[in-house]
């Protein structure tokens, strides 16, 4: 069953756990819903999952309010892993956590991926973290993918004007490099995704847009092996590879 193989880890560990349920019942919920365990099997599986995410199984009868944000997110991860999924959607799973905890949770994600051969759809705004955890990166604007490529390709050879603007905003610890780096500042407001611009959705903020960009939507095409882009002017001189 596809639903059993696809699970989700939510952004807010404070809002995604039912405060009236014990940790045992929260983690066991997918097992009960899909009928994959019953009776003592449930308790055994919950203990295994809590050990997996490095939580003490003796705390399984406690409630969410007794745990920190990082621990709550581990509970959410344990719940997602209950039925041994193959595909996990991670909706900004570390953005609500302290920086010191983020690295621990990311390490847990990587350990689980290596152990269970998981595929993650990792949604994030932290571009440095995206580069660290991803194999392939899709850049979205107003609900559509504007550029898709392997991680190193998209960070070292971005083509779409929006991708370039995003990458230019990544903080750099080297003051000398920071002074010489070209920062791309987009003008104008982000249009409503409910009523997007005609043609290319990025054209109202694009520094190289022309009138014809508003006449039709660009084709999402492969411009080099494994590198896809949605832009009329992807071969514009300003978009040539660095």
Q: Based on the fold, state whether residues 153 and 203 are members of the same structural domain.
A: yes
Residue-wise pLDDT for 190-234, tens only, equals: 999 999 999 999 999 999 999 999 999 999 999 999 999 999 998
- Judge if 109 and 14 occupy the same domain: yes
On whether both 40 and 156 belong to a single domain, the answer is no
Q: Which of 81, 112, 133 is the last residue of a domain?
A: 133
pLDDT for 235 equals 83
Distance CA 119, CA 139 (A): 18
Residues in the chain where the model's pLDDT stays below 70:
1, 174, 176-180, 236-242
Instruction: Based on the fold, state whether residues 140 and 235 are members of the same structural domain.
Output: yes
Domain interval for residue 12: 2-133
User: What pTM, to 2 d.p., does this model score?
Assistant: 0.87
Q: Does residue 21 share a domain with residue 115? A: yes
The total of structural domains in the chain comes to 2
Please tell me whether residues 127 and 158 are part of one structural domain: no
Residue 242: predicted pLDDT: 45
Residue 122 belongs to domain with CATH number: 3.40.50.300
Examine the domain organization and report whether 8 and 123 are in the same domain.
Answer: yes
Same domain, 145 and 188: yes
- Cβ proximity of 111 and 103 under 8 Å: no
Residue 185's pLDDT is what? 85
Indicate whether 29 and 143 sit together in one domain: no
The DSSP result for the chain, as a single string, is -HHHHEEEE-S-TTTSS-TTS-HHHHHHHHHHHHT---THHHHHHHHHHHHHTT--GGGTTS-GGGS-HHHHHHHHHHHHTTT--SEEEEESTTTTS-HHHHHHHHHHHHHHHHHHT-EEEEE-S-HHHHHHH-SEEEEEETTEEEEEEEHHHHHHS--SHHHHHHHHTS--S-HHHHHHSPP----SPPPPTTSPPSSSTTTTT-TT--GGGGTSPPPEEEEETTEEEE-TTTTSGGGS--
In whole angstroms, give the CA distance from residue 202 to residue 215. 13
């Amino acid at each position: 069953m596809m639903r059993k193989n696809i699970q989700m880890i939510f952004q807010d560990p404070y809002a995604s756990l039912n405060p009236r349920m014990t940790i045992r019942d929260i983690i066991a919920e997918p097992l009960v819903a899909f009928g994959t365990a019953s009776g003592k099997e449930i308790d055994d599986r919950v203990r295994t999952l809590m050990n997996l995410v490095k939580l003490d199984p003796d705390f399984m009868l406690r409630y969410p309010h007794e745990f920190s944000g990082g621990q709550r997110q581990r509970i959410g991860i344990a719940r997602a892993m209950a039925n041994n999924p193959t595909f996990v959607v991670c909706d900004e799973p570390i953005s609500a956590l302290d920086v010191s905890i983020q690295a621990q949770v990311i390490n847990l994600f990587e350990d689980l991926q290596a152990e269970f051969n998981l595929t993650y759809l990792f949604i994030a705004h932290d571009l440095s973290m995206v580069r660290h955890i991803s194999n392939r990166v899709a850049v979205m604007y107003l609900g559509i993918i504007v550029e898709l490529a392997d991680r190193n390709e998209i960070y070292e050879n971005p083509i779409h004007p929006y991708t370039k603007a995003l990458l230019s905003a990544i903080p750099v610890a080297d003051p000398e490099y920071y002074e010489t780096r070209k920062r791309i500042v987009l003008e104008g407001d982000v249009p409503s995704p409910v009523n997007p611009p005609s043609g290319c959705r990025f054209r109202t903020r694009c520094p190289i847009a022309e009138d014809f960009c508003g006449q039709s939507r660009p084709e999402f095409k492969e411009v080099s092996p494994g590198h896809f882009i949605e832009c009329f002017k992807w071969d514009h001189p300003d978009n040539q590879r660095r």
